[in-house]
Structure formats: C-alpha cells, structure tokens
C-alpha cells in the first residue's frame, strides 16, 4: 500500500521522484520488481519518459534505472538552458518562451514521404530483412 501512495507531484523533477520512489521500494521486503515497475508507470506524470516505458517496457530494474538516468540528464539539461535563457531574456527583453521538456518533440522536422508513389513489395518484409542481414547490407543487432 505504501507504494500506491507515492505519486510524482507537479513540478517535481524526475530525479527527486525516482529517489523517493526508490526509497519506498527499498523499505518494502520481498518486493517483486515487476510490481514496482508497473506501479512506477502508473504513478509518474505523463511525459517522454512515461511514453518510453510504455512503448518499450524495461526488462529489469537496472534497465529502468539506466533509462531514467538518461531522461533525468535531459530534464536537467533543458532546465539549465531554460534558466540560462531566462537570464539572457531579462537583459535583452526577448519575449520568446523557454523550451520545456514536453515541447522537445515539436522541434523535430516533420518529414513526409520522399516520393509520391512506391513500388509495392511482392516478397514478405521478413525475407527482405534476412537477405539484407546475410549480405551485410545492414548491421545485425547485438543481443545481450
């Protein structure tokens, strides 16, 4: 029950929340890591990290911590630049709002299809992938 009461508050950084969540997890004896990971997704505020966890669930707590660390670094980097930008706009009286982590996906160029029409495939994609891997046209994924 104590795990259910831990929720990320508005304005709370991912690092602060993960520290608090980890402390509660450590205080629970024989906590199943899968249950902890499930509760994390339901208690964290919506955002890029949550989307990442839903799209590709972590295999274990170590992977979860590694991925969380990357998102913490992004969040801190954006926060640093937001504060730096705010200092610069105070001097220059600019009126462009700072970039938030939620806005990052908006700055990617939206590319449409390169051509108007494509030749339809007559062979299954799996067979094409196998052949491309055999002739080393594309590198094989390393499995750990």
Helix (H, G, I), strand (E, B) or coil at 45: coil
Q: For the chain, what is the radius of gyration of the CA atoms?
A: 21
The pLDDT score that the predictor gives to residue 91 is: 53
For 104, what's the count of Cα atoms within 13 Å in the CB-facing half-sphere?
A: 14
Given a cut of 80, whether residue 17 has pLDDT beyond it is yes
The pLDDT score that the predictor gives to residue 34 is: 84
Query: Tens of pLDDT along 96-117?
Result: 666 666 666 565 566 677 778 8
- How distant, in Å, are the alpha carbons of 67, 90, 91, 119 from that of 123? 37, 60, 61, 12
The residue among 2, 104, 95 whose CA lies nearest residue 43 is 2
Q: Give 95 or 59, the one with higher predicted confidence.
A: 59
With b meaning 16 or more CB within 10 Å and e meaning fewer, what string describes 60-78?
ebeebeeebeebbeebeeb
Query: Tens of pLDDT along 85-98?
Result: 776 665 555 566 66
State both tokens at 15.
């690092």
The residue-averaged pLDDT of 74-90 equals 79
CB 98, CB 86: distance < 8 Å: yes
Place of tokens 């205080």: 27
The residue-averaged pLDDT of 43-67 equals 87
CB 72, CB 14: distance < 8 Å: yes
Place of tokens 């051509």: 115
Give the whole-angstrom CA distance, residue 40 versus residue 38: 5
């Amino acid at each position: 029950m104590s795990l259910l009461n831990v929720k990320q508050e508005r304005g709370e950084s991912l690092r602060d929340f993960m520290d608090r969540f980890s402390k509660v997890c450590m205080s629970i004896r024989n906590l199943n890591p899968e249950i902890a990971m499930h509760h994390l997704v339901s208690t964290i505020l919506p955002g890029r990290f949550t989307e990442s966890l839903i799209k590709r669930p972590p295999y274990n707590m170590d992977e979860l911590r590694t991925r969380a660390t990357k998102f913490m670094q992004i969040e801190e980097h954006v926060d640093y630049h937001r504060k730096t930008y705010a200092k610069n706009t105070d001097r220059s009286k600019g009126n462009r709002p700072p970039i938030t982590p939620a806005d990052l996906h908006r700055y990617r160029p939206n590319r449409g299809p390169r051509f108007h029409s494509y030749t339809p495939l007559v062979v299954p994609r799996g067979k094409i992938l196998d052949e491309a891997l055999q002739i080393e046209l594309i590198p094989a994924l390393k499995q750990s």
